[in-house]
Amino acid sequence: MSAPEKPSLLFFYSPSDGRSRRVESLLAQALQRNKNHGTFEVRRIDVTKHPQVAARFRIEKLPVLCVVEDRRVVKRIVAPRATPEIRRALSPWLALAKGS
């Protein structure tokens, strides 16, 4: 019996977008807390290099985080503004310490 696959966390961004760079930092903070680095297979998708992927996922505003399980988007976070917002959205998958 094999272990279940990790969910994918797709990070849609543009390298020229300041908000995308900020959200990348916020995401790192959210995953660093309580050692959640291995929770997801994180995939960074530059929409300027892969517009067809962005179109397939209906990305209209940047940045966007999508959690994918069993080839389906189960959570979408559009333009998050703070680490707690990301942690709340990803809480079903994250190991949270008491009081977090």
Q: Is residue 81 part of a domain?
A: yes
Query: What pLDDT shows up at residue 78?
Result: 97
- 18-39 average pLDDT score: 91
Structural domain total, the chain? 1
Query: What pLDDT shows up at residue 2?
Result: 57
Average pLDDT, the chain: 91
Domain of 56: which CATH number?
3.40.30.10
User: Does residue 99 surpass a pLDDT of 50?
Assistant: no
- The parent domain of residue 64 ranges over 8-90
Q: Using an 8 Å Cβ cutoff, are 86 and 79 in contact?
A: no
User: Does residue 32 surpass a pLDDT of 50?
Assistant: yes
